[in-house]
Amino acid sequence: MFDVFIDQFWQLTFSGISLGFIYVLIALGYTMVYGVLRMINFANSEIFMWGTFGAIVASRDLFKYTQTSDPVTGPKLVLVLVVQLFAAMAFAGLVAVLVEFVAYRRLRARGTNRLATLISAIGMSIVLSEVMRLLTASRPVGSPRILEKIILTEIWGAQIRLDTLITILAAGAIFIILERFVKLSRMGKAIRAVSMNEDAAKLMGINLNRVITVTFLVGGLATGAAAFFYVTVYEYTKFNIGFTMGLAAFTAAVLGGIGNIRGAFFGGIALGLAEVYAASILGTQWKSVTIFIILVLVLLFKPSGLFGEAVTQTRA
């Protein structure tokens, strides 16, 4: 039972961390919106899915790479990857703003119940995934291989692969940038002010609509960046991939303490590791069961997640 776990421990750990970093960025999408609206953004999984298509559209339609073309090298590689990253972030960011505009804005202005908003967001996520399904005729879409997946080195038997290493470093960097943005920038302060107390923030002259749009945008950009890494590592997307990734990332956000940006970080990494460990010990089919049981146990002892809702402790 544990032989694989012991034999491949470092390999599993490395894979889990790189998967975890993708979760971190998606979890950021959930947590940002939750922080200001106290609302699960059910459409975030579809924002992610649209982001993956953004990355593929860039490499396939803009740079005209195909499934059989050779991996890109040299300065052009950097260019293509950066364009892909921006395309994914742009797609996801735009869709996120659209979600806010269509599914949230009117309901929020009327100050009505949260469940109506939840259903409206669910409706939006159905629409987003169905539109993509019709556009792609329900077929999976492969991504051309842009980045050669070189095994750089082996540490304790774990292969350090270029794509996963880039994911960890770049996703980490993007996370830090966003975290600093929320912490230090004027807009970030406004976001935190709104998440602490909406009414007071409004009285202080903060443009609520703008802040919320920006929050969705930032969440969407983070989710879009995750989509880019996902495409680079797995080279695949389909209209229905959002659900699984979204659910895992959402769980990660709750695990860390939803609404808390650092919580999203630790929750994401913890979830990535828990997934690969559980899958190697119990079998992949029990992966999600294990995760939910861990989640319930954590919530039993820390009802607001590992790091609590630190952005605003008060839920008043």
Partner 1 sequence: MNKKIKASAAIVAALALSLGAFAATSASAATKTYTLAYQGPLSGGEASTGTDEQNGVKYAIKVWEAANPGIKINLVSVDDEGDPAVASKVAPGVGANKKIIGLVGPAYSGATIASLPYYKAGNLTVISPSATRVSLTDPKSPTVKSDYGRPIFHRVVATDDKQGPALAKFATKGIASAKVFVFDDQSSYAVPLRGYVEAAIKKISTASLVGTGDSVINTTTDYSPTIAKIKTSGANVVIYTGYYSAAAIFIKQLRDSGSTAVFAGGDGVFNQEFAKLAGKSGEGALLTGVAGLADVDATIEADFKAKIGVSSGVYAVESIDAANIFLSGIKNGKTTRAAMNKWVKAYNFKGIAGATIKFNQHGDISEGGFAGFLVTGGKLVNKGPVA
Partner 2 sequence: MKNFNLRDFGAGIWERANRPQRVAIAISAIVLASLMPFAGGSFLATPIAAYDAVLVYPVAIFVLMSLGLNIVVGKSGMLDLGYVAFFAIGAYTMGFLGMHTSLNTWEIMPIGIGLAMLAGVLLGIPTLRLRGDYLAIVTLGFGEIIRIVALNVSWTNGPNGISGIPMPPDLGPIKFRLDDQKGFYWIVLVMILLTIWMIRRLSVRRPGRAWEAIRQDEDAAELMGVPTFKYKMWSFTLGAAVGGAAGVLYGSKNLFIAPEMFTLNVSILILACVVFGGIGNIWGVIVGGVVLGYLPDRIRFISDARLLVFGLVLIVVMNFRPDGLLPRKKREKAIVKKGADA
Q: Which residues bind partner 1 (CB under 8 A)?
A: 3-4, 7-8, 11-12, 15-16, 19, 67-68, 133, 137-140, 142, 145, 149, 151, 159, 161, 230, 234-236, 238-241, 243-245, 275-276, 279-280, 283-285, 287
Q: Which helix (H) or strand (E) holds 136?
A: helix 114-136
Inter-residue contact 248 to 23 (CB < 8 Å): yes
Q: Which is nearer to partner 1, 193 or 248 (CB)?
A: 248
Minimum separation from the CB atom of position 39 to partner 2 (A):
8
Minimum separation from the CB atom of position 194 to partner 2 (A):
14
Rule CB under 8 A: is residue 171 a binding residue for partner 2?
no
DSSP assignment letter at 286: G
Q: Of partner 1, partner 2, none, which one does residue 275 interact with (CB within 5 to 8 Å by kind)?
A: partner 1
Rule CB under 8 A: is residue 292 a binding residue for partner 2?
yes
Q: Of partner 2, partner 1, none, which one does residue 236 interact with (CB within 5 to 8 Å by kind)?
A: partner 1
Q: Of partner 2, partner 1, none, which one does residue 15 interact with (CB within 5 to 8 Å by kind)?
A: partner 1
Q: Which stretch binds partner 2 (CB under 8 A): 17-25, 207-215, 228-236, 292-300?
A: 292-300
Rule CB under 8 A: is residue 314 a binding residue for partner 2?
no
Phi and psi angles of residue 252, each rounded to the nearest 5 degrees, phi first: -60, -45
Separation CA 179–CA 307 (nearest Å): 16
Inter-residue contact 8 to 157 (CB < 8 Å): yes
Instruction: List 151's β-bridge partners, or say none.
Output: 161
Report the helix count and the strand count for the chain, using DSSP H and E: 13, 4
Alpha carbon 137 to its chain's center: 25
Q: Which stretch binds partner 2 (CB under 8 A): 5-13, 159-167, 209-217, 297-305?
A: 297-305
- CA atoms lying within 13 Å on the CB side of residue 68: 0
Residues 6+ apart with CB under 8 A from 185: none
Give the Cβ contact number of residue 63 at 10 Å.
Answer: 16
Minimum separation from the CB atom of position 22 to partner 1 (A):
9
Q: Which is nearer to partner 2, 52 or 117 (CB)?
A: 117
Rule CB under 8 A: is residue 116 a binding residue for partner 2?
yes
Q: Which is nearer to partner 1, 284 or 313 (CB)?
A: 284
Q: Of partner 2, partner 1, none, which one does residue 60 interact with (CB within 5 to 8 Å by kind)?
A: none
What length does the chain have?
316
Minimum separation from the CB atom of position 313 to partner 2 (A):
14
| Residue 66 burial by Cβ neighbours in a 10 Å radius (0-12, 13-18, 19+) | exposed
